[in-house]
Homo-oligomer: A and B are copies of this chain.
């Protein structure tokens, strides 16, 4: 059974997904705490940051939101809260590590978003769109909850990485590349684009009237 043969990969993916969830949750918890949200508020913002994108994807696809089928995501969020609570000062020195988790998490979110949509039979452009939604909506809702303009709309080359990742996934599948290899190449591409964009300060221009 091919499906069983792939189980080890799925379990490796689970670890990555948990790390990505923790990284996303940490970003929400830190930003909420900076706005003096209480413990509960910080945990909720962290949770929404981590699961918001996948939840919107699942609602649009009309399937049960993924986090309602496993309590993993709530535990990851609580774990992220403990990290922020106890190692706050240390976290400043770990910014690089967290950024890495965040990038890897994003790469994985794109893969999961594309694949889940593809499995439901949607055409490629919907899959790319859902890959992007999975990657960016959590951060958008986070910024709306803390009453800021979503940072991905003005600062970071974040969504473009998701879109390019999604397109790569679609092209590889179209040319018959195997699923696991496609997943790895896609995720790595997203990570590389995001790291390069951050390192070199790549940004999209805006349409400002001047």
By the criterion CB–CB under 8 Å, are A39 and B159 in contact?
no
Chain B residue with the shortest CB-CB distance to A84? B207
By the criterion CB–CB under 8 Å, are A207 and B39 in contact?
yes
Measured CB to CB, the closest approach of chain B to A151, in angstroms, equals 10
Binds B, one of A26-34, A170-178, A182-190: A26-34
Binds B, one of A7-15, A16-24, A102-110, A140-148: A140-148
CA distance A204 to B38 in the complex (A): 6
A94: Cβ under 8 A from any B Cβ? no
Chain B residue with the shortest CB-CB distance to A141? B144
- Contact-size category for A: 35 or more
By the criterion CB–CB under 8 Å, are B146 and A33 in contact?
no
13 pairs, CB–CB < 8 Å, chain A vs chain B: A32-B153, A33-B207, A34-B208, A38-B205, A40-B204, A41-B152, A59-B59, A62-B62, A68-B129, A88-B207, A145-B150, A145-B153, A147-B149
By the criterion CB–CB under 8 Å, are A41 and B154 in contact?
yes
By the criterion CB–CB under 8 Å, are B144 and A144 in contact?
yes
Interface 0/1 of A122-135, CB less than 8 Å to B: 10011001000000
